[in-house]
Amino acid sequence: MAITADDKLLIHFPFPLPDGFLDTLAKRFPQLRVHFEIAPIVNNRMTNADTLPDEVWEGVTMLSILPPPSAAKMKNVKFVQLGSAGWDPWLEHEAFLNKDVAFCCTSGVHPPQIAEWAIGAWLTHSHHFKNYMDQAEKGVWEMGLSGPSVTDSVGLRMGIMGYGTIGRQVARLAHALGMEIYVQTLSPRPTPESKKLSDYIVPGTSDPDGLLPTKWFSGSGPEAVNHFLSQDLDIVVLSLPMSPQTKHCIGAEQFQILGKKKPFLINVARGPIIDTPALIEALEGGLLRGAALDVTDPEPLPKGHPLWKAPNVFITPHISWRSTKLTERITEVMLQNLERWDKGEPLLNRIKR
């Protein structure tokens, strides 16, 4: 699979590449033709690469991109480096269904910032930061010894559904705060080797060997999910991928189980993992102490939707992935995979289809 003069890499992102990145590609792969285009943002959406001239697409065998172009544009493509950690928009794409085309995601580039969002949302809730910010805006100093008490994190039990790159960094931060970690994965991880992570990891982060959880659970059906949620969890973090098995896996039945402990719910995965009407009922009925959502169903969440007015809910518009270091990390994954492709080595973050 060595890179040859017949190969052409098209990079189509809505942001500039790091300084010197194209020069680095030219030095490491002098035989590789590279074309980079910044994708314009129109009406808050990235322009599809189908809009690029035919001469740009001519000879493209390698692609680094976000939204899928038409299959006709990809007739010669053999390697795709996605600029995202997820691949939901590609599931029915002709090129994605062709297993001769290698697809790799950028899993591992988002965990530092997403984990900080998750823990920050919890601390904002538990320390009543919003109350004090409201006071500060009014110029009011009110310590209020009879006011809301603070729940610190030491000794709390966090349950993480989905123990990939994001879940592991959340666990690392939570463990540093003194929490006990329980995790649930789709398949069993009975051996030390099975608990290890092979995806890209930002140096100095994560739980690559799976050593932080006190207990591991597995399974995706209602029985397995219910068993996990019945473990007296104080905080529940959803960081699992979207799939037919995980859609609405947190619904009315699961909220009744959680209602015994009334945990704080954090969703940094995908909105449809939660049944939204059931979530609203759970918040209004006091089955949860609160919820922090960076993703919703529907998304975008329409103005006037009842979820906006649900008690003790914190919502952001799917922005927890943002970081000034994101582009640097995405291109690092791309560079490592080009080197692996050139050497015939296993690719990093290759998507199993």
DSSP-derived secondary structure letter, 271: G
Q: Whole-model pTM?
A: 0.90
CA dihedral 305→306→312→316, nearest 10 degrees, is: -10
- 148-199 residue pLDDT tens: 789 999 999 999 999 999 999 999 999 999 999 999 999 999 999 999 999 9
Q: What percent of the chain has pLDDT over 70?
A: 99
pLDDT band at 135 (very low <50, low <70, confident <90, very high): very high
Taking every pair of Cα atoms in the chain, the longest distance, rounded to a whole number of angstroms, is 73
Complete DSSP assignment for 103-125: EE--TTSSHHHHHHHHHHHHHHH
The H-or-E segment that residue 351 falls in is: none
Q: How far apart are CA 353 and CA 218, in angstroms?
A: 21
Distance CA 258, CA 227 (A): 11
Q: Crossing angle for the helix pair 326-343 and 21-28, nearest 10 degrees?
A: 10
Residue 19 and residue 337: Cα distance in Å, rounded?
Answer: 19
Residue 157 token pair: 């039990």
Q: For residue range 88-125, what is the model confidence (pLDDT) as tens digits?
A: 899 999 999 999 999 999 999 999 999 999 999 999 99
Calculate the alpha carbon distances from 67 to 12, 48, 87 in Å. Answer: 9, 6, 9
What is the SS3 assignment for 284? helix
Q: What is the pLDDT of residue 322?
A: 95
Q: Which residue carries 């500060």 as its tokens?
A: 136
- In this prediction, what percent of the chain has a pLDDT beyond 90? 91
Burial tier of 279 (Cβ tally within 10 Å: 0-12, 13-18, 19+): buried
Domains delineated in the chain: 8-107+324-343 (3.40.50.720), 110-315 (3.40.50.720)
Summarised one tens digit per residue, pLDDT across range 201-249 is: 999 999 999 999 999 999 989 999 999 999 999 999 999 988 889 999 9
In contact, 62 and 47? CB cutoff 8 Å: no
Q: Is residue 250 classed exposed, middle or buried when 0-12, 13-18 and 19+ CB atoms within 10 A define those classes?
A: buried
The CA-CA-CA angle for residues 162, 165, 168, to 5°, reads: 70
